[in-house]
Amino acid sequence: MKTEPEADGAQAAELPATSRAVLGILSFGEELSGYDIKRWAEQSLAFYYWAPSQSQIYSELRRLEDQGLVESRVEQTHAAKSRRLYSITGVGRRRMREWIDGQAPDPVVLKQSMVLRLWAGHNGEVERLAEQWADYADQSRDTAARAAAHALSAEKVPAWRFPALALEWAEKYYRDEAARAEWVLERLAELEAAERDGGGAAAER
């Protein structure tokens, strides 16, 4: 019988955030394949943290298994096909508990490409910039609706009450993003009007 290594605070702090996300998915207690984990992430984590590729997921699973936080077994689905299933170990659960209960949250890093585009807007046309922000507002409303649908599904499973709450947060975030995008559109309209008025005044002079 394999003895699980002991986890400590220093080790917990070294675990990358993407590894914690994969470990967190497995902490719900089901054996999952890499494909299952990707689907789980797309229906939950992608709305507020991470939209991984399949290769990223397998890379994280190998890292976690090397550290004794995850274990795997091969399931023979039929004679010609098998799949590898992963589950969290006791050490993995302790590591997650240390992170949730004891570690300070990582600082939020905001990299908003639409705002960067807005900042450099003097290099383009105001009308085109407004079209892009209108599209962004629509996309944000659509994402909010999808997050709300997934939250509703998660609420039906008692074990998923915290993911449901996280998805509700995501819905509110994207609805707020849509409102901020509408505010930007109003301000762009004001700027465009001011430029027209200024141009007309200059022509009269």
pLDDT at residue 76, rounded to an integer: 83
pLDDT at residue 15, rounded to an integer: 82
Give CA angle at 54 (50, 56), nearest 5°: 60
- Which amino acid appears at position 126 of this protein? V
- pLDDT for 91-115, tens place per residue? 999 999 999 998 788 888 899 999 9
Contacts of 34 (CB under 8 A, 6+ apart): 54, 57, 58, 61, 84, 86
Rounded Cα gap, residues 184 and 138, in angstroms: 13
Helix (H) or strand (E) holding 108: none
Rounded Cα gap, residues 119 and 55, in angstroms: 35
Backbone angles phi, psi at 162, to 5 degrees: -75, -40
Q: What is the pTM of this model?
A: 0.83
pLDDT at residue 105, rounded to an integer: 82
The DSSP secondary structure of 32-51, one letter per residue, reads B-HHHHHHHHHHTGGGTT--
- pLDDT for 33-63, tens place per residue? 999 999 999 999 999 998 889 999 999 999 9
With a cut of 50, list the residues of the chain below it in pLDDT.
Answer: 1-13, 200-205
Rounded Cα gap, residues 76 and 42, in angstroms: 26
Helix (H) or strand (E) holding 197: helix 161-204
The DSSP call for residue 141 is: H
